[in-house]
Amino acid sequence: MAPCNCHNPYLPYPMVIRQVTDEVEDRSIKTYDLAFRESADAEAFRWQPGQFCELSLLGVGEAPFGIASSPAEPELLRFSVKKAGVVTAALHRLKAGDQIGLRGPLGNAFPLELMRAKNVLIIGGGFAFTTLRALIVSLLDQRADYGDITVIYGARTPGLLMYRSDLDAWQSRSDMRMIQTIDQPYVGWEGQVGLVPAVLEQTAPSPSATIAIVCGPPIMIRFTMPVLARLGFENQQIYTSLENRMKCGIGKCGRCNIGHKYVCLDGPVFSMAELSALPPEY
């Protein structure tokens, strides 16, 4: 683990919000494109898909969010925030030009090295698509380095799918397979209908030389894992990203551990092989 690139790991970089967009139709998720106020900070900030940051508002507090943009997207640092608690509610009141703090990048990343020359299967559900977006952009940026890329992404309704323009762009590419699905039939929706595990079963990707990345709500993960097992995926081929409650993000404050592993430091990305050796405390 590389040491934090700032001298005092608790101090946030000053950031400015470039743009705020509503990400989904019920307005529960907003996407923020941020810019560093200090160019030196921007220079120092180096990340990998899968990592997260602590976003903060003075007087309100900090909360962790996965980085939704890829280092392959120049000048873009993107986060999507679902309104859930105090910090997220305050973030939702912000507009372009407002100030915000950022600590990070924190945690480990998706195993890009391991995916090299292999097929990649990405399975996402609902709001847990933020760091998957970063991963897909990075994979496509070095497209020739990877084998088949299959993405299955589901939400309850079409309007709750995040990053619609990205999804459409990926859908139209011939060098990857993008499957969007919604839980139930919906007027005007011509794509797949069905829960993610069922769509996965129909799609039946081969486990051969494939790495699967699964991020979604606990219920989706619970029903997706047996399908992957039936398809022949081994635990060490499957990765997921966890979201235990965190504060410091640097392995000190003692609340996000699962057994002796810290989600903020050893994670948030874990293989199912690693998780199966840990207690189910997440």
Partner 1 sequence: MSQLPAEVRACIAEWLAQGEIDLFIGYEASSLPFQATPAFIRQPEEVDRLIWDATCENNLVSFLKRYRGQKVGIMLKGCDARSLVSLMREGQWIRERLRIVAAACPGVLDVRRMVELAHTEIENLPGQLLPQGWQHGETLTPLADIRHVTCALCLQHTPTDYDLLVGDPPPEEHPDSFAAVREIEALSSDERWQFFTQELSKCNLCYTCRNTCPMCYCNVCFVDQDAPRWFTATTAPPDIHFYQVMRTFHLAGRCAGCYACTRVCPQGVNLWLLLDKLRADVWELYQDDAGTNPDAKPPLTTYREEDDNSFVL
Partner 2 sequence: MPEAYHLPSGQYDAWLATLRRHGRLIAPVMREGEYRFDVLADDELPMLGRGLTRRSPKWVFFPQHEAMLRFRRQADDYASAEVAQPNNTPQVLLGVAPCDAASLPMLDRIFMDNYHDPYYAARRRNTLVIALACARPTSTCFCHALGGGPADAAGADLLLTVIDGGYLLETITPAGQSAAAGWGLDPADGDHREQATRAHAVAVEKLKPIESLAGIEAKLEGLFNHPLWREAAEKCIACGTCTYNCPECHCFDIRDLPLADGGERVRGWDACMYAQFTVHASGHNPRPDQGARWRQRIMHKFSYLPANIGLYGCVGCGRCITSCPVRLDIRQVLDAVRRALPEEASRGTV
Contact residues for partner 2 (CB under 8 A)?
Answer: 1, 3-4, 7-15, 37, 56-63, 84-85, 88, 98-101, 218, 243-245, 247-248, 250-260, 265, 279, 281-282
Q: What distances in angstroms separate CA 74 from CA 36, 77, 244, one per listed residue?
A: 13, 9, 30
**Given its phi and psi angles, is residue 71 left (phi above 0), alpha (psi -120 to 50 degrees) or beta?**
alpha
Which amino acid, 142? Answer: Q
Size of the site for partner 1 (CB under 8 A): 5
Q: Tell me the DSSP string of 91-148.
A: HHT--TT-EEEEEEEES----HHHHTTSEEEEEEETTTTHHHHHHHHHHHHTGGGSS-
Residues 41-70 that bind partner 1 (CB under 8 A): 61
Among 14, 85, 217, 218, binds partner 1 (CB under 8 A): 85
Closer of 230 and 245 to partner 1 (Cβ) = 245
Nearer to partner 1, 16 or 89 (CB): 89
- Our CB check for partner 2 shows the closer of 125 and 207 to be 125
Q: What is the DSSP letter of 72?
A: T
Of partner 1, partner 2, none, which one sits near residue 71, judging by CB under 5 to 8 A according to partner kind? none
82/70 Cα distance (integer angstroms): 20
**Contact flag: residue 218 with partner 1 (CB under 8 A):** no
Torsion angle of the four alpha carbons 182, 110, 207, 192, in this order, in degrees rounded to the nearest 10: 10
Residue closer to partner 2 (CB basis): 228 or 258:
258
Output the smallest distance, CB 84 to partner 1, in A. Answer: 8
Distance of CA 222 to the CA centre of its chain: 18
Q: Which of 1, 11, 86, 209 touches partner 1 (CB under 8 A)?
A: 86
- CB nearer to partner 1: give 74 or 254: 254
Across the beta sheet with 13-22, the strand order is: 61-66, 52-57, 99-106, 13-22, 29-36, 78-82
Q: Which of 11, 16, 44, 89 binds partner 1 (CB under 8 A)?
A: 89
Which residues would be at the binding site for partner 1 (CB under 8 A)? 61, 84-86, 89
